[in-house]
Structure 1
Amino acid sequence: MNDTVGVSNDTWQWYREVIRSWLEDPGVHVFEGLNMTALKMDEAYMVGSSEINVGVYSVSDDCFRCPFKLQRNISAGEERVWVTSTARRSTWRVYANYTEQYVTAGDTSGLLCQLRPEMGEFGVYRLNASTEGCDIRTVREPVDIYLPLLLLLGVLFGIWILYGIIKLIMSRVRRTGKLRYGDKELAIQQRLRALDTFRGMAIVFMIFVNDGAGGYWWLEHATWNGLVAGDLVFPAFLWIMGVCIPLSVKSAFAKGVPRWKIFMHIVRRSIIMFLLGMSLNTIYGSNMLHELRIFGVLQRLAVSYLIAAGFYALTAPKYYTPPRVSGACGQALKDVLSCVWCWVLAGVLVAAHSVLTFVVHDPNCPMGYLGPGGLHDDWVAANCSGGAAGYIDRLLLGRSHVFQRSDAMRVYGGEPTDPEGLLGCLTSAVQALLGVQAGATVLLQRSHKARISRWLAWALVFALAGALLAGFSREHGVIPINKNLWSMSFVLVTSACCLILLCFCYTLTDAWRFWGGGPFRAPGLNAIALYVGHSLCAHLFPFHWKITNMRTHAISLVEAVWGTALWVIIAHIMAKKKVFVTL
């Protein structure tokens, strides 16, 4: 009997530990006198002791070529405790008798050791220093922050399977042969399901990222150079907007709409989008006129749409006929020849952007600087944040009218830079024009194989070109991949990703008709409504809520998924009721 009770207790204890691990529970409130409940997301305790007077310094991998920053001074025989961030891996140094706030990477005088420990959330670590060296060892193991994400993916996969089974049963019970949301979709010229599915994926992921993405840094945005998952959302919107331009212009011509009316509609839509974006800026920022942020996400979309759609509407043939070409090369270039003037415009925009980027500069800054300023490169260009792009924004818009809370400022310091500023509008328009090229393929090529093969070919070309510009590295290329500057390498690489995703969606939804777009198609039909709605409700219940302790990825992930799911449900209700919001 006692053995049975013992086994039951052990089993229950095992289940408790499993549940704790899935929910990022450290398991104790106090450990060796340390209050574990005081730690926040991506934080750990460092306990330092030394036989001599030392300065403990660290630099995060997120801060490229930055000096080491003082964490604590430890006197001989003293023990110090402090909280350290574990979001990004860091390099640590211990110097003898150092008290300066910063130490450059090249300064090795008095250096006792350099370490790169693996640290995690809610862990406890001990640093021991002496004249013979130092080490960092783990006193208490951290929690696994990726288990909640794995659990979420499993739950979503289960819901998707269950939804598919129910849908299959219902379709066999009532075979109506009607489109899911009624006749409204037939009025959209039987548009490709892949386009709405693609756009829906983008808006759903954008809402999830804006809701915090569970606190996982790689699901948000890169601080400066580099590319993470969150960086793909905005260019995806720009690009798919470009894809739809040839289709909508052709449809307007087919209805007999004059060219000038099409152009004026584009201008009107761009103005509305720009003003709406400025209005939304006041939700997160100041509404004081002398501090009002001028540019933003919708503003960038508006400018890019005006350039790409306006130019295409003015140059596209009224009666669309494929270019007359012969030979293998001619057939391969048929898509390009159909958009030849768009390619000319793209070339002009790239040339203008390159000249401005590498020639225009602040008189006190180096020419062609592309860094974040501040601590970058040991203050080599501390007040030159963003290079030409930042200089032009601060000069023409005013320092107080650009974005003031960027990740680059948080990590590097320096001057404010606007990730949706003036100079980046040129390359954003290029990205929209690359989307126009993909849309022209839909008009020219009627077979699924021809469309997919061309999109994949373009994806390969763009990916290689972007990687070459970036030097196949994050930091050392001629033009690094950078969302904040909207660099050409960023445009090419993200366009390649968009092409691959479109091929995936198109194959499943239009070629094989294996998938109807699932939960993403309805949000894609009302993307602008969802974007504005989730911005307006950024702090409103039930879309967002808090509990006393929001210190784990698990609870933040639940909150982000909850808010995102509500907007997906709203999108499906709107589609069911045939409510489609357009500008």
Structure 2
Amino acid sequence: MAEIKVDPVPETQISTQKPNKTQRVASLDIFRGLTVAVMILVDDGGGEWPVIGHAPWHGCNLADFVMPFFLFIVGVAIPLALKRIPSRVKAVKKVVFRTLKLLFWGLLLQGGFSHAPDELTYGVDMKMIRFCGILQRIAFAYLVVALAEIFLKDAQSNDTSAGHFSVFRLYCWHWLLGACILVMYLALLYGTYVPDWQFTVRDKDSADYGRVFTVACNVRGKLDPPCNAVGYIDRKVLGTDHMYHKPAWRRYKACTENSPYEGPFKNDAPSWCHAPFEPEGILSSTSAILSTIVGVHFGHVLVHLKGHSERLKQWIGMGFAFLVLGFVLHFTAIPLNKQLYTFSYVCVTSGAAALVFSAIYILVDIWRFGYMFLPLKWIGMNAMLVYVMAAEGIFAGFVNGWYYEDPHTTLVYWIKKHIFIGVWHSRRVGILLYVIFAEILFWAGIAGILHRFGIYWKL
């Protein structure tokens, strides 16, 4: 279970001893806070503003940057955390224990147990529990990359000073690991034969609940929604009952007239529009490790290169290189696709993460404009609390549990209707402002108060 720790000064690094206090990397906290804030924005505002929500299939909208940004941030933090644990055994215990905590919270929050914030029920039928999710994917990537960092430490130099290119040489192992993962992913993605398959509609809100559909495939190497290897492997290993039943492809133009908005399916919609699909599945999570590996390199640069200019030259150069490579792949061979976590998507989102992190680093750690980003910094220092309470809607679910006569006469609904939607006479604008002020800035204030008292919820 996650721990509530009270420290006089919070630390980025993990330590089993009592070393001298080290200053946090402020830009990393702000980047983490920005990512959590964007996650809340796209989750709660994406329904009214699909341009910021997940792309229905190919493409990359604002929401599609959230997961790789989280993985990048985890990667940056790994070298900072593990460098202060001299014992390999203690380091492994830390990594394994943290992974288990991430898995626990992932299953609890996204496995189906909590129905917050709108449904005033809880509990999950174990026949229908969702095994995968955001925290599970982060746990998997963190475990693989952190263990690699630990067990290959002896092959690395202990010298904390290094040149521009020697960082690549010192840590060539993690690029080799990334290359092996990429080859395996591409081989499975393009080499797996996908046969015809069937599924039963489990969405109780659907008029087709309980109906059995057949999807015709008999192909290999396709990246379309119904017949890709990513979905096939998840169906075989997880089973359709344990996958996400409301995937983004429900807004695909082949499924609904209202695309990219949600809406009733077309009368002639393909059968696969009703099917489940796991956006944080097995094969796509394997590819997602690459985002963490890129972040680890940035963490190594932070540890070994001491000058701001040396760090930024490497970060910005890599950022633009990834962006160019990603867009070239997208327009020639491999489309951007978050659901499949394609290599072009890895490159574009890693390049974007590199440039955003570099920009924050310049503003905060070099130009000392950190005070402008205090709300994001507070969120980043208490990211787990804000994620659980706001992004997962646990606090809103608790508030909705207190209603007058009807479950829709709650404080949350009243604030949305009368303070935001009613004042602006627009549901779209009202919802957007509600998310910004009543969720993101509200929880930034709560996190700021907790920071004032040195209270942090850490995993």
**TM-score bracket relative to the smaller structure:** 0.7 to 0.9
| 1:547 and 2:417 correspond | yes
1:389 — aligned with what?
Answer: 230
Please name the residue that 2:250 is paired with.
409
What do residues 276-330 of structure 1 show as CA deviations (whole Å, max 9, x unaligned)?
1111122249711111110000000010100111111111248721588xxxxxx
Native 8 Å contact 2:54 2:63 kept in 1: yes
- Determine the structure 1 residue equivalent to 2:179: 347
Pick aligned residue for 1:231 from 48, 60, 64 = 64
Q: 1:184 to 1:241 in 2, by over 3 A?
A: closer
| Structure 1 residue 233 displacement after superposition | 1.4
Alpha-carbon contact 1:293-1:401 (below 8 Å) kept: yes
Counterpart contact for 1:204–1:568, Cα < 8 Å: no
- Alignment partners' CA distance in 1, 2:412 and 2:184: 43
2:268 matched to which residue of 1?
none
* Aligned with 2:103 (options 267, 270, 274): 274
Task: Name the CA distance, whole Å, in 2 between partners of 1:188 and 1:356.
Answer: 46
Larger mean Cα displacement after TM superposition, 390-399 or 216-225: 216-225
CA distance in 1, matches of 2:367, 2:417: 45
Which residue of the partner structure matches residue 310 of structure 1? 147
State the Cα distance separating 1:262 from its structure 2 match. 0.5
Match among 321, 332, 353 for residue 498 of structure 1: 353
Identity of aligned residues (%): 29
AA partner of residue 415 (structure 1): A
Do 2:161 and 2:306's aligned partners in 1 also have CA atoms closer than 8 Å?
Answer: no
* Cα distance, 1:300–1:538 mapped onto 2, change above 3 Å: farther
Structure 1 distance, partners of 2:31, 2:238, is: 34
TM superposition shift of 1:184: 3.9
Compute the TM-score of the two structures, normalised by the length of structure 1. Answer: 0.61
Aligned equivalents of 2:444, 2:427: Cα separation in 1: 25
Structure 1 CA distance for aligned equivalents of residues 335 and 378 of structure 2: 36
How far apart, in 2, do the equivalents of 1:533 and 1:198 lie?
Answer: 19
Question: Secondary structure of the equivalent of 2:370?
Answer: coil
Q: Is the 8 A contact 1:455 1:499 kept in 2?
A: yes
* Distance apart, 1:538 and its partner CA: 4.2
Query: Unaligned stretches of 5+ in structure 1?
Result: 1-180, 325-330, 374-383, 472-476
CA contact (8 A) 1:544 1:563 kept: no
**How far apart, in 1, do the equivalents of 2:97 and 2:8 lie?**
29
- Residue by residue, what CA displacement relative to the aligned partner does 1:470-522 show, whole Å, maximum 9, x if unpaired? 12xxxxx4211111111111111011111111111111111121333321111
Deviates further, 566-575 or 279-288: 279-288
SS of the aligned residue for 1:539 comes to: helix
In the aligned structure 2, how far is the partner of 1:369 from the partner of 1:415?
17
**Aligned counterparts of 1:223 and 1:266: Cα–Cα separation in 2:** 35
After TM superposition, list the pairs within 5 Å mapping 1:205-354 onto structure 2: 205-213=38-46, 215-253=48-86, 258-281=87-110, 282=112, 283-284=114-115, 287-317=124-154, 320-321=158-159, 331-354=163-186
Kindly indicate whether residue 450 of structure 2 is the aligned counterpart of residue 574 of structure 1: yes
Kept in 1: contact 2:399–2:412 (CA 8 A): yes
Could you say which structure has the higher helix fraction?
A: 2
**Structure 2: distance between partners of 1:362 and 1:213:** 32
CA contact (8 A) 2:167 2:304 kept: yes
- Residues of 1 paired with 2:40 and 2:167: CA distance? 34
Counterpart in 1 of 2:15?
none
Q: Distance in 2 between matches of 1:414 and 1:214?
A: 19
Counterpart in the other structure of 1:448: 308
Paired letter, 2:431: S
Alignment of 1:446-485 (within 5 A): 446-471=306-331, 477-485=332-340
Q: Which structure's CA Rg is the greater one?
A: 1
Partners of 1:188 and 1:414 lie apart in 2 by 54
Question: Partner residue of 2:223?
Answer: 370
Alpha-carbon RMSD across the aligned residues, in angstroms, is 2.3
Query: Whole-Å Cα distance in 1 between the matches of residues 46 and 194 of structure 2?
Result: 37
Question: C-alpha distance in 1, partners of 2:244/2:85?
Answer: 38
The 1-side partners of 2:69 and 2:83 are apart by: 22
- Taking the aligned partners of 1:504 and 1:399, their CA distance within structure 2 comes to 42
RCO greater where, 1 or 2, for CA within 8 Å and sep 6 or more? 2
Q: Indicate the residue corresponding to 1:531 in structure 2.
A: 387
Amino acid at match of 1:296: G
> In the aligned structure 2, how far is the partner of 1:414 from the partner of 1:341?
43
1:188 to partner: Cα distance = 5.6
Query: Any stretches of 5+ residues in structure 2 without a counterpart?
Result: 1-6, 13-19, 116-121, 197-216, 256-272, 401-410
Change (3 A) 1:421 1:438: same
Decide which structure has greater strand share. 1
Structure 2 distance, partners of 1:243, 1:521, is 16
1:267 maps to a residue whose letter is V
1:192 to partner: Cα distance: 1.4
Q: Distance in 2 between matches of 1:495 and 1:418?
A: 22
SS at match of 1:423: helix
Aligned equivalents of 2:131 and 2:357: distance in 1?
32
2:220 is paired with a residue whose SS is coil
Q: CA deviation at 1:191?
A: 2.1
Q: Which amino acid aligns with 1:490?
A: Y
Alpha-carbon distance between aligned partners in 1 of 2:453 and 2:46, rounded to the nearest angstrom: 30
Aligned partner of residue 51 in structure 2, secondary structure? helix
TM-score by length of 2: 0.77
Residue 42 of structure 2 contacts residue 62 of structure 2 at CA under 8 Å; is this kept in 1?
Answer: no
Q: Residues 261, 567 of structure 1: CA spacing in aligned structure 2 closer, same or farther, 3 A cutoff?
A: same
Distance in 1 separating the partners of 2:125 and 2:135: 20
Alignment partner of 1:508 is 2:391? no
2:161/2:304 contact within 8 Å kept: no
Q: Secondary structure at the match of 2:126?
A: coil
Q: Write out aligned runs for 1:74-153 (5 A).
A: none
Question: Would you say the 8 A contact 2:57–2:249 is kept in 1?
Answer: yes
Query: Any idea what the Cα deviations from partners look like across 1:259-280, whole Å, max 9, x if unmatched?
Result: 1210121111111101211111
- The match for 1:361 among 160, 175, 193 is 193
